[in-house]
Amino acid sequence: MKFFRNRIFVIIAVIIFYILTVIFNVFNGTPKSQLLAREGIIDLVNWDFKKDGVVSLDGEWEFYWNQLLTYEDFHKEVPIKPDGYFKVPSVWTNYDLNGNKLPANGCATYRLRIKTNDINSIKGLKILTSSTSYKLMINNQVIAESGMVGNTKETSIPEFSPQTVSFQNSSKDFEVIVQVANFTYSRGGMWHSIYMGDDSDIRKLKEFDSGKAMFMFGVTLIMALYHINLFLLQKRTKAALYFGVLLLIVAIRITITGEYLILNFIPAASI
């Protein structure tokens, strides 16, 4: 009877966990309608950040393989032609360039032009990670970096560090330029969406996503410890132990992906 009650408790806990997760995803503050970039341009002229909220900069970005370019490079007398317009978020090993798949190791520059009527306001960007280092610029100003971008393994330093950053836009047409380098992982590129919005909305989104991840970590950890403790007390079956260890692995994974909660506990952690 006690074993049966324990199983009922677990089933109820799992159901509650998934219901709350669904609720989090429904009310997570990310945009309900979405614009997409086309051929390196996203048109936000009719996007009201006060009314419509945060927007993700997904879609077709200009892509320059094995080149680390800056704003000045794009505004020389002889224009630079992109190697293609490729989907973001994605990894460049999914890209087909001249009939060939790109290798995991290398560097690249992504560029997106943003058209907007919302000027002279403080905007924010929510950036998770790119594989495995990046430098992000608004026009000719560097506003975010993670690790060190280089064109070789020796000149690159990988780092996964989510960020929220602020910038002031004073133009109706500005550029987001992202240099990315990867010489350590099996996939490279901008594999997460970048979100842009009013600075206060971006910070609220960051807090919400971090809270959601913390909730999932806490619930998963409690369930893991419960099953491990159940095995230690009863020792009738190893199923509870295996399930507990599996949940523990899931809990650990939550802290080293997405919002990288481990950085809240160990700020100096190198990931």
Which contiguous run of DSSP H or E holds residue 73? helix 71-74
Q: Is 160 left (phi over 0), alpha (psi -120 to 50) or beta?
A: beta
Q: How does pLDDT run along the chain (271 residues), one tens digit per residue?
A: 554 555 565 565 566 556 656 555 555 545 445 799 999 999 999 999 999 999 999 999 999 999 999 999 999 988 899 999 999 999 999 999 988 999 999 999 999 999 999 988 899 999 999 989 999 999 999 999 999 999 999 999 999 989 999 999 889 999 999 999 999 999 999 999 999 999 999 999 999 999 999 999 999 999 899 888 888 888 767 888 888 999 999 999 998 888 888 877 776 555 5
Task: For residue 205, give the amino acid letter.
Answer: L
> Which two tokens mark 204?
């609220």
List CB contacts of 191: < 8 A, sequence separation 6 or more: 89, 90, 91, 129, 130, 131
Q: What are phi and psi of 215, to 5 degrees?
A: -60, -50
List CB contacts of 49: < 8 A, sequence separation 6 or more: 55, 118, 121, 123, 197, 198, 201
3-state secondary structure of 26: helix
3-state secondary structure of 183: coil
> Which two tokens mark 212?
């959601």
> Which two tokens mark 191?
């594999």
> Which two tokens mark 105?
């190791």
Which contiguous run of DSSP H or E holds residue 229? helix 199-234
- Four-point Cα dihedral 33, 38, 42, 45, nearest 10: -80
- How many other CB atoms are found less than 10 A from the CB of residue 215? 15
